[in-house]
Amino acid sequence: SLNLTFFFFFPIYIKMQLNQGCDEFTDLSFSHSFIGTSVRVRLLLYTSEGGTCGSLVSHTDPSAHPRFNFSRPTTFLIHGYRPTGSPPKWLSNITKLLLAGTHTNLIIVDWNYGAANVNYLIAARNTHAVAENLTAFVERLEKGLSLSSIHMIGVSLGAHISGFVGANMNGSIGRITALDPAGPLFTGTLPKDRLDPSDAQFVDVLHTDIDALGFRGPLGHIDFYPNGGTDQPGCPNNIFSGLSYFKCDHQRSVYLYMDSISRVCDSRAYPCQSYQDFLNGLCSSCERFGDAGCPVFGYYVTQWKDVLLKLNQTNVYFTTNSASPFCTAQYTVDVTVWNKAVRWGYLTVKLYSADQEAVATIDHTAFTFKRFTETRLLAQFDKDIKSVEKMSLKFSTGSVLQPKYKLRVLRVRLTPLEREERPLCRYDIVAAEDREVTFRPLPCEDSNF
């Protein structure tokens, strides 16, 4: 029985011993924020060998740490404002994902002392002190590794901290990724007082809350605006939802980025003058990016780095679902009608395979359908159906008082934007208002109309 007891408890004992050596992100309470905190920077190193066990790195002698490997790339993850003092909810997930994806020295920059303050102005001012601290550390790293192998991922205020460090290092850091860079106190400032493209060899930026907590204008070589950069699907749209109303759009940037690391699916993003033009189907051209096509959002966008640097600055748009997997599937839907009178309205399109259904509701504006004139719509389906067996259309005007109309469709053509496939068509169908009409699409015939 003694042997059995040993067999049962020994692994638990070992795990306890290992965990004793783990350093955790600082966990503060709201009382700390209320009193206010002054800057203290802790650098927590994670490696694939150490798993989720972090350990403090010396600011003055990083080489003394047995797990810090100078032959590997180094990733810094820098959080933003922490009004409640608690660790970010997403921290452990993104740590696991970054470690699983690459062999890297992952350094979580814990500046919770300094970020935890009910007064945002003080936290924003503290970004400069954090950047000075990090700069001194990076200068020591420079003796043993190439600065181009450093990737800084900054969230909100952390994005500007990354920029300050990059500027201090004369833009020689390899890459800065900014996840919804903070807007308040940084909007309208000079480039030296915020993140800008000269801060690293490559700067990619994600904007998810440009109408509140995030920065509206472009700050990088490529700036991604999912859902136009404002209201993110699934986030509350009224103040009665409490704190979530204020932070959901802002935090969505981290969750979108985590999806891109795990590569559950890819979100291709399209260059455009505005989000409205993108929704109107005016921006499906990817020619400027060469054979690789339009950039895929997120962690792996470095594949497009060379062409993006030549283009100087590019704004791109894409849409997402309300939860992971966030990627949508892009199609153009071209509709030609033979109604004598002009019709205005919206379309809902569904695609079916043997075991899946995908939906695209195209209702951001009322479209005009004129006789023998092709109307192009951008349909963004909530999932990608590889083999479409059936398709349905529903036409609606959104009007309660007017009589119900019919849309007499001469031809509907469905073309995937992200795959080289022959379009699918259906000819001569009638869509009664608010009634779904289902049909089997066929490969399109070449015709003149």
**287, 318, 349 — which closes off a domain?**
318
Q: Are 381 and 264 contained in the same domain?
A: no
Model confidence at 20, pLDDT cuts 50, 70, 90, reads low
Active site annotation includes 180: yes
Q: Can you give the pLDDT at residue 401?
A: 83
- Cβ-based neighbours of 203, under 8 Å, separated by 6 or more: 175, 176, 177, 178, 195, 196, 197, 219, 220, 221
Q: Which residues are annotated as a binding site for Ca(2+)?
A: 194, 196, 199
Q: Which residues are annotated as a binding site?
A: 194, 196, 199
Q: Using alpha carbons, list the distances in angstroms from residue 107 to 59, 61, 160, 316.
A: 12, 14, 17, 29
21, part of any domain: no
Q: Can you give the pLDDT at residue 50?
A: 87
Q: Are 347 and 289 contained in the same domain?
A: no
Please report, for the domain that includes residue 394, its CATH number.
Answer: 2.60.60.20
Q: Can you give the pLDDT at residue 7?
A: 45
Active site annotation includes 156: yes
323, part of any domain: no
Q: Are 156 and 303 contained in the same domain?
A: yes
- Quick check: 409 and 417 in contact, CB under 8 A? no
- Quick check: 76 and 64 in contact, CB under 8 A? no
Q: Can you give the pLDDT at residue 51?
A: 87
Residues 181-199 have a mean pLDDT of 98
Model confidence at 4, pLDDT cuts 50, 70, 90, reads very low
Q: Are 210 and 101 contained in the same domain?
A: yes
225, part of any domain: yes
Compare 139 and 1 and report the one with higher pLDDT. Answer: 139
Model confidence at 12, pLDDT cuts 50, 70, 90, reads very low
Instruction: Report the alpha-carbon distance of residue 417 to residue 332 in Å, rounded.
Output: 7
Residue type, 313: Q
Catalytic residue from among 33, 149, 156, 260: 156
Q: Are 344 and 306 contained in the same domain?
A: no
Q: Are 307 and 413 contained in the same domain?
A: no
- Quick check: 102 and 73 in contact, CB under 8 A? yes
Q: Can you give the pLDDT at residue 225?
A: 98
Model confidence at 241, pLDDT cuts 50, 70, 90, reads low
Catalytic residue from among 79, 250, 259, 396: 250
Quote the number of domains for the chain.
Answer: 2
> Where in the sequence is the domain holding 390, given as residue range(s)?
329-443
371, part of any domain: yes
pTM of the model: 0.93
Instruction: Report the alpha-carbon distance of residue 408 to residue 337 in Å, rounded.
Output: 6
Instruction: Report the alpha-carbon distance of residue 228 to residue 225 in Å, rounded.
Output: 5
- CB count within 10 Å of CB 273 equals 11
Pairing of strands 424-432, 406-416: antiparallel
- For residue range 275-333, list pLDDT tens digits in order: 999 999 999 899 999 999 999 999 999 999 999 999 999 999 999 999 999 999 999 99
- For residue range 135-176, list pLDDT tens digits in order: 999 999 999 999 999 999 999 999 999 999 999 999 999 999
Please report, for the domain that includes residue 162, its CATH number.
Answer: 3.40.50.1820
Q: Taking 90 as the threshold, does the pLDDT of residue 195 lie above it?
A: yes
Residues 410-439 have a mean pLDDT of 95
11, part of any domain: no
Q: Are 311 and 341 contained in the same domain?
A: no
Q: Are 124 and 247 contained in the same domain?
A: yes
Q: Can you give the pLDDT at residue 103?
A: 86
5, part of any domain: no
Q: Are 227 and 355 contained in the same domain?
A: no
Beta strand extents in 103-163 (DSSP E only): 105-111, 150-155
Q: Taking 70 as the threshold, does the pLDDT of residue 5 lie above it?
A: no
Question: Among 131, 112, 260, 272, which Cα is nearest to 195's?
Answer: 131
Compare 354 and 241 and report the one with higher pLDDT. Answer: 354
Model confidence at 409, pLDDT cuts 50, 70, 90, reads very high
Q: Can you give the pLDDT at residue 6?
A: 43
70, part of any domain: yes
- For residue range 380-395, list pLDDT tens digits in order: 999 999 899 999 999 9
Q: Can you give the pLDDT at residue 167?
A: 98
Collapsing DSSP to helix, strand or coil, 276 comes out as helix
Q: Are 197 and 270 contained in the same domain?
A: yes
349, part of any domain: yes
**265, 292, 318 — which closes off a domain?**
318
Catalytic residue from among 79, 160, 180, 260: 180
**264, 296, 318 — which closes off a domain?**
318
Q: Are 269 and 357 contained in the same domain?
A: no
Q: Are 278 and 369 contained in the same domain?
A: no
